[in-house]
Amino acid sequence: MANTKQARKRARQAEDRRVLKASQRSMVRTYVKRVIKAIQSGDHAEAMGAFKAAQPVIDRIADKDVMSKRKAARMKSRLNKRIKALAA
């Protein structure tokens, strides 16, 4: 338990940050699931559209340090690879 005023404030800030980041991570997962669903349906145009919508969201979350930049790049790369395989 936080004993000082400063420690109580830091605990409050940490909790607020945790809730916000959880929401943002959830949003990214939703966008990624839309891309995967489009890939599984076999529609290349729909998959590209979903990927183009997901890309800026993933980048924005990485810029805010909710997700590491490397993980974001890896995620985008893997999705793009699957879309390219779909076109071939």
CB-based burial label for 47 (10 Å; 0-12, 13-18, 19+): buried
First to last CA, the chain: 58
Read off the pLDDT band of 87 (50, 70, 90).
confident
Residue 1 pLDDT exceeds 80: no
Report field, pTM of the whole predicted structure over 0.85 = yes
Residue 18 pLDDT exceeds 90: yes
pLDDT for 2: 81
Tens digit of each residue's pLDDT (9 = 90 or more) over 34-85: 999 999 999 999 999 999 999 999 999 999 999 999 999 999 999 999 999 9
Query: Which of 3.10.20.90, 1.20.58.110, 3.40.50.2300, 3.30.465.10 would CATH assign to domain 5-87?
Result: 1.20.58.110
Contact call for residues 79 and 54 (beta carbons, < 8 A): yes
